[in-house]
Structure formats: C-alpha cells, structure tokens
Chain A
Amino acid sequence: QQQVKQSPQSLIVQKGGISIINCAYENTAFDYFPWYQQFPGKGPALLIAIRPDVSEKKEGRFTISFNKSAKQFSLHIMDSQPGDSATYFCAASISGNTPLVFGKGTRLSVIA
C-alpha cells in the first residue's frame, strides 16, 4: 500500500514532442505528490508538486495532471528538449514532514 507505481521505465521522445510519465498510488492518505528530476551523478531536484485539492498544475513546460478518484497522477513535458533528458521520479507523502515514497523512475531521452 506504500508503493507508488511509475511507467514507463524508459521513454524516447522527439525534440518538440510531448513526454508523458504516469504514476499510480494506493494509499489514500498520501496528499503531496512531487516530481523530481535527476541527472546522472546528481541528487534528485524538485521539478513540480501538486496536492489533491487541484486537478492540474502547470509551471512553464511542465504540467502535473491529478486524478484523485483513480489515484493516478502524471507529468507532461511540453515541447521536450534534449536538455530534459534525465531520469524522472514521481513520489508521494502524507501531510507533514514525512518520508517520500518514490516510484522506480523513468529514463527520458529527447532526441533531435
């Protein structure tokens, strides 16, 4: 019940295309859903986060869509660029300063 399932494991997208990564969770107590971006040899960096009181959040080219009833959330990267090539992790946690539960990650490659 603590798991966060992430798909796909890897993704190849043409430059300018839309990258979509999906996550699903079971624990309805989760109320904070961040996405982290990780480049090789670096720590995860917060990209964007959402709480279940909204269904969508957009920051620049990055959008989170949240479906509370389906217990799913997804990351959309519009106009994908080669510099977006990284591993993306979804995560979830319960209110307060509690541990993040991470998905297994998606390795995104944006090719020109």
Chain B
Amino acid sequence: EPEVTQTPSHQVTQMGQEVILRCVPISNHLYFYWYRQILGQKVEFLVSFYNNEISEKSEIFDDQFSVERPDGSNFTLKIRSTKLEDSAMYFCASSEATGGQTQYFGPGTRLLVL
C-alpha cells in the first residue's frame, strides 16, 4: 500500500540553525500539507501546497518557514532560524486532487531544538 515517507525520523539542532524536513508524498497525490504536533497537544495545520504554490497557511507559518517541491517526488519544509518553541513532531500529509479529501499522514519527524 502506498504511504507517505518522511526523513529524518529525528533531528536535533541548536537554536538559530536552519533545518530541512523532507517528505515523499504518495505518488499520484497532488495536494501536500505540513502539520505539527507539540508534545501532548493536538495536531496543528501549518501549510498546504498545490500546483507548486502555497494554497493556504496558518498563522504559525511565519517568515521563518518555507516549503518547496524541489523535484517530482520530494516536498520539503525549511525552518530558517529555529527557536526552542519549534520543538515538535512535524507531519507531512498528502491527498488526491479529486474524488476525496482523505489526507494520508507520514510517520513524522521529531524535531528537538536545544
């Protein structure tokens, strides 16, 4: 069964450093999303991406965040200058362009900012 994959599974970084989280969505999906989950809290939407541009973003997704689809398979989330409060689990999700709204989530990247 096709699945969303994410790398790395864990990332430890120093405050102020840049991190790039990578995702490979399901191959025939055209909508991509990033969500985050701070430990013990609910899953929160960050950004959605379609047709090589951001379609929606939340107030969490400020100027330090950016997304990119650098090739036909990868979808990345970059955090330019990490803060302590960026420590969270980051989930990538993808969905088909038509016929449904089901979003399939990857296993997540646990980011720890020290």
Q: Which residues of chain A have a CB within 8 Å of any CB of chain B?
A: 32, 34, 36, 41-46, 49, 89, 91, 93, 95-105
Contacts and interface: CB of A to CB of B under 8 A. Distances in A.
B42 A105 contact: yes
Q: Is the interface of A mostly helix, strand, loop or mixed?
A: loop
A41 B107 CA distance: 8
Given A99-B48, A100-B103, A103-B42, A43 B58 contact: no
B97 interface: yes
Interface in B24-64: 31, 33, 35, 41-45, 48, 50, 55-56, 58
Contacts of A95: 101
Contacts of A43: 4, 91, 105-108
Contacts of B58: 99
Contacts of B101: 32, 93, 95-98
B91 A44 contact: yes
Nearest to B46: A99
B46 to A, nearest CB: 9
Nearest to A91: B43
A46 B107 contact: no
Given A49-B102, A99-B48, A42 B42 contact: no
Among B41, B45, B102, B108, chain A packs the most CB atoms within 10 A around the CB of B45
Given A41-B107, A41-B108, A105-B42, 12 more contacts: A42-B107, A43-B4, A43-B108, A49-B102, A89-B42, A91-B43, A93-B101, A98-B48, A99-B56, A102-B42, A104-B41, A104-B42
A96 B106 CA distance: 20
